[in-house]
Amino acid sequence: MGFLVAKWGNSLAVRLPADSAKRIGVEEGDTLIAEIAADGRLILTPEGRAVGKSELRRMREFVERQKETAPVVENMRRGTRY
């Protein structure tokens, strides 16, 4: 996958396509940590944070899709006792 390097003021910028941003869980305003590997590769990693906006949104969507089930302990109480 290639990214275009473009001029942004006096700097250069790399545009991150929307599908790539979604895959790594970043959105506008998030920070990426840049590292340059010994072999010259540029490694971008989303800045560590407890829970970011996009992760929180994905967790909420996941929970909303889950079916409600009886609690495990309640099921165990109804089960055969030893």
Domains in the chain, start-ordered, CATH in brackets?
5-78 (2.10.260)
**Both tokens of residue 64?**
């909303």
Answering whether pTM is above 0.75, one says no
Q: What is the pLDDT of residue 11?
A: 96
In whole angstroms, give the CA distance from residue 75 to residue 13.
Answer: 56
User: For residue 67, what is the DSSP state?
Assistant: P
The three-state secondary structure class of 56 is helix
In whole angstroms, give the CA distance from residue 76 to residue 49.
Answer: 37
**Both tokens of residue 9?**
């003021």
* 32-74 pLDDT, tens digit each: 888 899 999 998 888 875 566 777 788 888 888 877 777 777 7
Average pLDDT on 21-35 reads 87
Phi, psi of 56 (to 5 degrees): -60, -40
Pairwise pLDDT comparison (77 vs 23), residue with the higher score: 23
Local confidence band at 82 (pLDDT 50, 70, 90 cut-offs): low
Q: What is the pLDDT of residue 60?
A: 86
